[in-house]
Homo-oligomer: A and B are copies of this chain.
Amino acid sequence: MKIQPCFFNAHHAPIGAFASFTLGFKGASGGLGFEMGHPANQNVYIGLESGQKGVYNALPFYDSPEKHEGLITSDPAAASVPEVRIEPFPDDAVSREYGLCSDTWQAGELRFTVYSPVEPVPDPGKNPDHGDLPRILLPAVIAEMEIDNRHSERCRKAFFGFTGNEGPGMRRIGGTTGDLRGIGQGRNLAICTDEKKTGSGIGYSAEEVLYRSSSAGTVHGGLGTAALLLFDAPAGEITTLRFVICFFHEGSVTTGVEASYFYRRFFESIEDAAQYALHHFPAIRQAAVAAESRIETAPLSAQRRFMLIHAVRSYYGSTQLLDTSEGPLWIVNEGEYRMINTLDLTVDHLFFELAMNPWVVRNVLDWYARRCSYCDTVRLPGDGREYPGGVGFTHDMGVANVIAPAGASAYEQPGRNGLLSYMTHEQLVNWVLAAAVYALNTRDGEWLQSKEDLLCDCFASLINRDHPESGQRTGVMRRDSSRCAGGSEITTYDSLDPSLGRGRGNSCGAMKRWAAFLLLHRLFEMLGRAEAATEYIQEARRIAGMILSHVNGSGFVPALVDTVPATTALPLVEGLIFPWQAGCGEVFDAKSEFAPLIDAARRHFTYALSSGACRCADGGWKLSSGSDITWLSKLYLCRFIATEILGIDEDGMFTEADDAHCRWLLDERNSYFAWSDQFRSGAVVGSRYYPRGVTSILWLREKRRDDVREALSN
């Protein structure tokens, strides 16, 4: 699809390599990023000789060469080459075709496409030797450059290269191993080709490399951080060049748990990966084209299709499949924060994973059960006594390749009431929901049985955070984990106002509790444990009653049921997605015992939008009437629940919101960060370069299409 403005960063990421060839924002804003929470900020040079001597045109992904990192600062002449100039193609000469797995820039006679994968990963725990794994886990993306020199009478030089970041030196690859030609930085980054007539050079600037290549043929020397691959595009022809853009990290890469990348089972070195990628270039491209075509037929508006594509790409840039002595470990790193498998992201990635890689859900849940759970006690506010708690799960598994000690997270700290406090109740609910949805979706009975005891413990722990005695329960979380040490629990909505961010008395949290009890009920029916199942459904009923009792005169349920003022929050409906995803759609029927609850949720949501409580001035949506901060991933989710579960008509408030959300992402203030989650007044304020937008995968499962939206989407 064509996107305007077209200069936004996008991930072009391998699967599970925690790497991305990010490109699209002007200037030194992209490049070969590796285990980073942001773009690599390298100059990327993709260009072609112009008709004018010494002048080259390139896509605008580099900074002007005023400031050269000089070897010999006393002689700037060494780096500056007035004879050569690289001019960016004018903005209006560049067009971009942006798809799920291909991203093409066309400018003048140059066409450049990057292909990146979107494909299920066969369970590496079950079959580590699966024949597709090397291709799917290949730590590389591929690219093609086409130079249309049919209307020129002279050979023109084309180039592709980048400037490395601080670290090992730049190098030229090839000559010794088969047909491989390339440039790279140390052992970690490389751009390679199998084009036989490839030149390459390293210098203080791309201009200098081009200058030396034109004067001396071969480019000698290895100083400087700019490296280019160089080609001659003969006159009168179209020249097509193939590239593989590779990332590699050998050996152990983590602490806490020792792990290497799973792709190390298949590739010895970056050269090895590059060879493989070039050898399998057609198959890799074909897989990308096939994946992309599947999404192109989806009846989504341009805005929503863009957001979905953009989000899926950002997700893959954060993925990391590791190989440990305890088996594979699938990690989604948390965008700019790089936290490992944040459990409240896992529960949002659930819909994507179940569509693509159900084993990933099981893998992460198993790691959480085995390593990232703990047993706590609980406290009432203002009461120093400790009451029985139960099993809890940490917020995350660590940060930036540092796996946290067992039972601890990178994020959580005691003594806090806001950011960085514990999320024990939230993560307990999340673990149960993810486990239940996984088991009910996949019918993985063996796994369910292995988790039966833990699920019982989870129920007890959930109950203890309300009240251990049935008669005293209210249905809402009321007790903080003693890990808070005087502070109080928060929710995943940590950066929003307390109405969403506080754990206790939270109606959105209560709705997720409701879903958890409902699904526990189903699981224990499946396990043939009728008594437990009955006990569990009672809790779901209790919560439904509690929620209904709090519907206020305006028709909405306050975000906190135990305090004033009453704020309105869209995520009240969030809990509904889990029964839906678990295949329990009958819960939403008019004859269901929970019909009144669903009806209240529908009225709540309708009120939140139509009253303007949860809408921004530009038509975008806000999660809470009490905060100007909003998260796109959750809005995507709520949008789906509204139309598909609650049956709310997709009116102008929906399409206006799509337009606004799309504008936010493409705004020049924000689009350096590819897909980001957290916005305030249309400006990104956190959760940049983030994976969670894949909640939008649900949009592909919409059944209630309406003509109005279709008409508006063109």
| Residues in chain A within 8 A of chain B (CB atoms) | 35-36, 71-75, 77-78, 166-172, 175, 184, 186-187, 212, 215-216, 220-223, 250-253, 255-256, 337-339, 398-402, 404-405, 408-415, 418-420, 485, 494-495, 629, 678, 680, 685-686
Q: Is A222 within 8 A of B402, CB to CB?
A: yes
User: Which residues of the other chain, B, contact A215 by a CB distance below 8 angstroms?
Assistant: 415
CB A7 to nearest CB in B, in angstroms, measures: 24
Q: Is A410 within 8 A of B222, CB to CB?
A: yes
Given A169-B401, A170-B402, A171-B402, 12 other A-B contacts at CB below 8 A?
A71-B420, A72-B495, A74-B686, A75-B419, A75-B495, A78-B418, A168-B255, A169-B399, A184-B255, A186-B401, A187-B255, A223-B410
Q: Is A686 within 8 A of B412, CB to CB?
A: no
A-B residue pairs in contact (CB < 8 Å), sample of 18:
A71-B420, A73-B685, A74-B495, A74-B678, A78-B420, A168-B402, A169-B399, A169-B410, A171-B256, A186-B401, A187-B255, A215-B415, A220-B413, A221-B411, A222-B402, A222-B404, A222-B408, A251-B251
The 10 A-B residue pairs whose C-beta atoms are closest, nearest first, are A169-B400, A169-B402, A222-B410, A251-B251, A221-B413, A171-B402, A168-B401, A169-B399, A74-B685, A78-B419
A255 to B202, CA, bound (A): 15
User: Which residues of the other chain, B, contact A494 by a CB distance below 8 angstroms?
Assistant: 72
User: Which residues of the other chain, B, contact A187 by a CB distance below 8 angstroms?
Assistant: 252-253, 255
CB A499 to nearest CB in B, in angstroms, measures: 16
CB A422 to nearest CB in B, in angstroms, measures: 9
Chain B residue with Cβ nearest A414: B216
A42 to B74, CA, bound (A): 27
User: Which residues of the other chain, B, contact A686 by a CB distance below 8 angstroms?
Assistant: 72-74
User: Which residues of the other chain, B, contact A223 by a CB distance below 8 angstroms?
Assistant: 337, 339, 399, 410-411, 420
Q: Is B220 within 8 A of A171, CB to CB?
A: no
How many copies, total?
Answer: 2
A413 to B400, CA, bound (A): 40
Interface core residue of A36, A168, A171, A412 (most chain B CB under 10 Å): A171
User: Which residues of the other chain, B, contact A401 by a CB distance below 8 angstroms?
Assistant: 168-169, 186
User: Which residues of the other chain, B, contact A184 by a CB distance below 8 angstroms?
Assistant: 255
CB A674 to nearest CB in B, in angstroms, measures: 17
User: Which residues of the other chain, B, contact A168 by a CB distance below 8 angstroms?
Assistant: 35, 255, 400-402
User: Which residues of the other chain, B, contact A338 by a CB distance below 8 angstroms?
Assistant: 169
A418 to B405, CA, bound (A): 57
Q: Is A222 within 8 A of B485, CB to CB?
A: no
A215 to B414, CA, bound (A): 10
Q: Is A414 within 8 A of B220, CB to CB?
A: yes
Interface core residue of A77, A252, A411, A413 (most chain B CB under 10 Å): A413
Q: Is A402 within 8 A of B74, CB to CB?
A: no
CB A492 to nearest CB in B, in angstroms, measures: 13
Interface core residue of A77, A253, A338, A400 (most chain B CB under 10 Å): A400
A166 to B167, CA, bound (A): 11
Q: Is B171 within 8 A of A255, CB to CB?
A: yes
A71 to B418, CA, bound (A): 14
Partner of A216, one of B74, B167, B400, B415: B415
User: Which residues of the other chain, B, contact A629 by a CB distance below 8 angstroms?
Assistant: 74
Q: Is B398 within 8 A of A222, CB to CB?
A: yes
CB A290 to nearest CB in B, in angstroms, measures: 36
A398 to B222, CA, bound (A): 7
Q: Is A221 within 8 A of B420, CB to CB?
A: yes
Given contacts A78-B419, A685-B74, is CB(A402)–CB(B251) below 8 Å?
A: no
A72 to B186, CA, bound (A): 33
Given contacts A413-B221, A419-B75, A485-B216, is CB(A186)–CB(B402) below 8 Å?
A: yes
User: Which residues of the other chain, B, contact A220 by a CB distance below 8 angstroms?
Assistant: 408, 412-414
Q: Is A680 within 8 A of B414, CB to CB?
A: no
User: Which residues of the other chain, B, contact A400 by a CB distance below 8 angstroms?
Assistant: 167-169, 186
A414 to B413, CA, bound (A): 60
CB A84 to nearest CB in B, in angstroms, measures: 14
Given contacts A72-B495, A74-B685, A223-B411, is CB(A398)–CB(B169) below 8 Å?
A: yes
CB A259 to nearest CB in B, in angstroms, measures: 11
Partner of A410, one of B166, B221, B398, B412: B221
User: Which residues of the other chain, B, contact A167 by a CB distance below 8 angstroms?
Assistant: 35, 400
User: Which residues of the other chain, B, contact A74 by a CB distance below 8 angstroms?
Assistant: 495, 629, 678, 680, 685-686
Chain B residue with Cβ nearest A38: B166
CB A337 to nearest CB in B, in angstroms, measures: 6
Partner of A250, one of B72, B251, B402, B685: B251
CB A172 to nearest CB in B, in angstroms, measures: 8
CB A679 to nearest CB in B, in angstroms, measures: 10
A216 to B420, CA, bound (A): 14
Chain B residue with Cβ nearest A628: B74
User: Which residues of the other chain, B, contact A78 by a CB distance below 8 angstroms?
Assistant: 418-420
A405 to B221, CA, bound (A): 10
CB A489 to nearest CB in B, in angstroms, measures: 14
Chain B residue with Cβ nearest A485: B216
User: Which residues of the other chain, B, contact A680 by a CB distance below 8 angstroms?
Assistant: 74
Given contacts A400-B168, A629-B74, is CB(A252)–CB(B255) below 8 Å?
A: no
A401 to B164, CA, bound (A): 14
Chain B residue with Cβ nearest A418: B75
A680 to B75, CA, bound (A): 13
User: Which residues of the other chain, B, contact A404 by a CB distance below 8 angstroms?
Assistant: 222
User: Which residues of the other chain, B, contact A339 by a CB distance below 8 angstroms?
Assistant: 223
